[in-house]
């Protein structure tokens, strides 16, 4: 995927979102030849917003009203995270969208004047636009126009570091761009033979659509293999204590992972700094080893095809035995963020997974009354500060308590000389009673099902006293 500062229209098969290096050689050559011959004022030549002067637009509709005191705060954060310089804003309340341009004609004229006044390079809508609306707006404004989904995709493209993440981002970009190829390549309609293209631009457009469709099929096949491997890895951990961190982007999940595990996961104060799942060991006294995974952050109105593309990466969250839903408690929109994350979790079919709500960044709260309000509405939540360490012991205790409720009681007898086994029981089970006689150790423990196989291999005698409890959901 394109790196920061690159031009996303250097693409081949998708002609605007994927890299040209990903396209077949013939298509790459055609695109290069076309660029040598055609000089165009098409505002879609460059699709990234790095270092570009941007004007932000948001429309409030009855079915999608503005949230918070500043309707454009999140979009500005996204734009700046992508590298844009915000130079202007435009807001409009409407009962319904204008089919051709989304905003009314008067606002289009006002927006055009804003673009001229501020010498803007790009206009970014906080709403999703149809290809026709984007095309009409660019014609009227004579600058590039992006919607919220395209901006998020652009950020994902610059953040993707692993092969898996790049494949997933490319698939999402291609699926977004396929219906927009006509807009991205409208300048080709003026091209005739002599530059290596098969006839006029419309013929080339049809060929490009076939190339994109083929690339989408190829990516889906490759991601199916990735998903199968991921499922095997996750299945191998099924008997382990697996916990996934989920939450709104920039809620502090990576910082929390570092604080809990002592890991050195990269932490950045920017949106979508994590796109790949990382798993680290977290040792909890009286419980033992927990496999803690950090996942991609969610956001309001996250494009559906992006969630679908990242299904393999989110497999850790889908299969985890416990979710830690991390919330930035210092954000005035914390409650809205909770709802947005729950919506995505429902889409991932994780709504029944046991979950602990973690109210993070409490050290940034000047007024603790906001925290008290959240705790009243979410009484089972745990308030923490990953930065200062406040509340981390309470979080450990909450995780230990939840998993202990999923344990069964057993009587265990083993050789007293088996120090390794006794140490294992002390680390990964709750010892209720113990006695030692005639060189033998007799213990009564509450232990996880995963520990049975290890006990069997060690030669211990185990007698279960009750059945394994089913997982229980926690608010």
The more confident residue out of 441 and 21 is 441
- Is residue 16 in a domain? yes
Q: What CATH number corresponds to the domain at position 246? A: 3.40.50.300
- End-to-end Cα distance, the chain: 38
Task: Give the pLDDT mean for 144-173.
Answer: 83
Q: In this model, does residue 184 exceed pLDDT 90?
A: no
Is the domain of 46 the same as that of 182? yes
Is the domain of 181 the same as that of 36? yes
Q: How far is CA 321 from CA 18, 243, 244, 430, in A?
A: 36, 6, 8, 19
- Is residue 228 in a domain? no
Task: Give the pLDDT mean for 185-190.
Answer: 44
Counting residues of the chain whose pLDDT is more than 90, the rounded percentage is: 35
166-182 pLDDT tens trace: 888 888 888 888 877 76
247-305 pLDDT tens trace: 998 899 989 999 999 877 555 555 555 545 678 899 998 788 899 988 877 888 776 66
**What is the DSSP pairing of strand 440-447 with strand 461-464?**
unpaired
Is the domain of 244 the same as that of 283? yes
Q: φ, ψ for residue 344 (rounded to 5)?
A: -70, -40
Q: In this model, does residue 346 exceed pLDDT 90?
A: no
Q: How far is CA 462 from CA 268, 434, 436, in A?
A: 48, 14, 16
| DSSP secondary structure code for residue 246 in this structure | E
Nearest 5°: the CA angle 332, 335, 341 is 120
Task: Give the pLDDT mean for 360-388.
Answer: 93
pTM over 0.95: no
- Is residue 469 in a domain? no
Q: Give the domain-ending residue among 368, 403, 438.
A: 403
The more confident residue out of 47 and 433 is 433
- Is residue 48 in a domain? yes
Q: In this model, does residue 188 exceed pLDDT 90?
A: no
Residue 427: which domain range? 406-464
The more confident residue out of 35 and 225 is 225
Is the domain of 370 the same as that of 416? no
Q: How many domains does the chain have?
A: 3
Is the domain of 202 the same as that of 252? no
Q: What CATH number corresponds to the domain at position 69? A: 3.40.50.11060
Smallest CA-to-CA distance from 399 within 354, 365, 437 is with: 354
State residue 443's pLDDT score. 93
Is the domain of 332 the same as that of 347? yes
State residue 442's pLDDT score. 93
User: At which residue do the structure tokens 């970014």 appear?
Assistant: 124
d(CA 159, CA 168): 12
- Is residue 221 in a domain? no
91-133 pLDDT tens trace: 999 999 999 999 999 999 999 999 999 999 999 999 889 999 9
Nearest 10 degrees: Cα torsion 37, 38, 39, 40 = 180
Q: Does the CA dihedral 466-468-470-475 come out positive or negative?
A: positive
């Amino acid at each position: 995927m394109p790196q920061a500062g690159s031009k996303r229209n250097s693409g081949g098969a998708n002609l605007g979102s994927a890299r040209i290096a990903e396209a077949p050689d013939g298509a790459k050559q055609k695109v290069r030849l076309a660029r040598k011959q055609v000089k165009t004022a098409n505002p879609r030549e460059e699709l990234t917003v790095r270092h570009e002067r941007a004007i932000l637009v948001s429309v409030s509709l009855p079915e999608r009203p503005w949230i918070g005191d500043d309707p454009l705060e999140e979009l500005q954060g996204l734009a700046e995270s992508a590298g844009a310089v915000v130079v202007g804003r435009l807001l409009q309340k409407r009962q319904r969208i204008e089919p051709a341009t989304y905003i009314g004609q008067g606002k289009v004229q006002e927006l055009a004047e804003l673009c001229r006044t501020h010498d803007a390079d790009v206009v970014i809508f906080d709403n999703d636009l149809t290809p026709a609306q984007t095309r009409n707006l660019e014609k009227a404004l004579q600058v590039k126009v992006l919607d919220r989904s395209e901006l998020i995709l652009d950020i994902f493209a610059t953040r993707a570091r692993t092969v898996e993440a790049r494949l997933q981002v490319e698939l999402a970009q291609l699926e977004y761009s396929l219906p927009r190829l006509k807009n991205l390549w409208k300048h080709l309609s003026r091209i005739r033979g002599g530059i290596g293209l098969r006839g006029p631009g419309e013929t080339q457009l049809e060929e490009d659509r076939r190339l994109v469709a083929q690339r989408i099929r190829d990516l889906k096949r490759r991601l199916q293999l990735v998903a199968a491997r991921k499922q095997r890895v996750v299945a191998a951990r099924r008997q382990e204590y697996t916990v996934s961190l989920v939450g709104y982007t920039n809620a502090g999940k990576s910082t929390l992972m570092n604080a809990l595990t002592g890991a050195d996961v990269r932490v950045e104060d920017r949106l979508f700094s994590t796109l790949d799942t990382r798993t680290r060991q977290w040792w909890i006294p009286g419980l033992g080893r927990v496999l803690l995974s950090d996942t991609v952050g969610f956001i309001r109105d996250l494009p559906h095809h992006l969630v679908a593309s990242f299904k393999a990466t989110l497999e850790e969250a889908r299969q985890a035995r416990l979710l830690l839903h991390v919330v930035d408690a210092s954000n005035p929109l914390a409650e809205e963020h909770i709802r947005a994350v729950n919506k995505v979790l429902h889409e991932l079919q994780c709504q029944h997974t046991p979950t602990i709500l973690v109210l993070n960044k409490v050290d940034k709260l000047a007024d603790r009354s906001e925290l008290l309000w959240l705790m009243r509405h979410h009484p089972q939540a745990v308030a923490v500060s990953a930065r200062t360490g406040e509340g981390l012991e309470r979080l450990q205790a909450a995780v230990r308590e939840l998993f202990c409720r999923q344990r069964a009681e057993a009587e265990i007898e083993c050789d007293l000389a088996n120090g390794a086994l006794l140490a294992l029981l002390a680390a990964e089970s709750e010892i209720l009673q113990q006695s030692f006689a005639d060189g033998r150790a007799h213990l009564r423990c509450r232990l996880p099902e995963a520990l049975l196989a290890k006990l069997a291999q060690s030669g211990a005698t185990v007698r279960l006293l009750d059945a394994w409890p089913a997982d229980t959901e926690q608010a």
